[in-house]
Amino acid sequence: MKKRKPKSLILVGNGINTEYETAHAHRLVGFEPDFIHINTLIEDPHRIKGYTFITLPGGFLDGDDLGSAKAQAVRWKYRKINKTGKTFIDLLISFVQEGNIILGICNGFQLLVKTGLLPGLGSEHSTQRVTLTFNDLGRFEDRWVYLKNNTFSHCIFTKDIHTIYLPVRHGEGKFVVDTEKTLERIKQGGHIVVQYADDSGNVTSQYPFNPNGSIESIAGLCDSTGRIFGLMPHPEAFVHRIQHPRWTREALPEEGEGLMIFKNAFKYVTENR
């Protein structure tokens, strides 16, 4: 009997605009992805049952009104589910506690930090401690960046990755924290996953390698389980050689480097479910 592919869920609507690229990356590694409108999910949140992997793709949720992803974060944090007293955040926490995984890309990362799901310090997944705000130069950045993986991180998505080259496309990508204590907890707890680096793989705050001025050059975070991961660069935008900006001038492997993140997701799901 042919083994059934693990099912994954990709959110769409309200300004999300990279769902097709994300679904393509899911299919390439072996997932069977479904789309669901973000409003539909709020109306019937228990539809996440049966899925092993949820991705919050990039885009401009609600037109970035109130700040990137802020309006949707408020809906997720405060709307109660069927008089149970629980919120959609509570449901997502249970989803991860059951061994499932969540990936937030760019706007999806902004949503994860503004709900408090990341960094989830001390398992506090509903208190916002960090945010992503306007780039230092005050303009939209559309460029490719080098990222160095933090070997002390327990993120399941970046296993066996040393460095990775991906594009960024954002106006609000600068990572900041509420206090120095929060930053120390993030560093000591292995929550920092990827950091902006130069072309030699050295972490740097220098522009344009760090395109937004993020403290500690942080480009991506995970929670304490390592199963919730958010990053500003777009792994789904580099899954084929021809997506590389120098593909006509360099000898490159057929697979783009971003596919490694989705391969790790698939490997984790199939080995641990």
Catalytically active residues are 106, 234, 236
Structure tokens at 25: 């990356």
| CA 78 – CA 59 distance, rounded (Å) | 23
β-strand partners of 221: 192, 230
| CA 266 – CA 260 distance, rounded (Å) | 10
Give how far Cα 226 sits from Cα of 74, 117, 123, 145, 171, Å.
Answer: 24, 12, 12, 23, 27
Residue 218: Cβ-neighbour burial (10 angstroms; 0-12, 13-18, 19+) = buried
β-strand partners of 102: 54, 228
Report H helices in the chain: 19-29, 38-43, 70-78, 88-97, 107-115, 180-188, 259-272
**Number of residues that make up the chain:** 273
Per-residue b/e over 103-127, b at no fewer than 16 CB within 10 Å? bbbbbbbbbbbbbbbbbbbeeebee
| Strand, coil or helix: 144 | strand
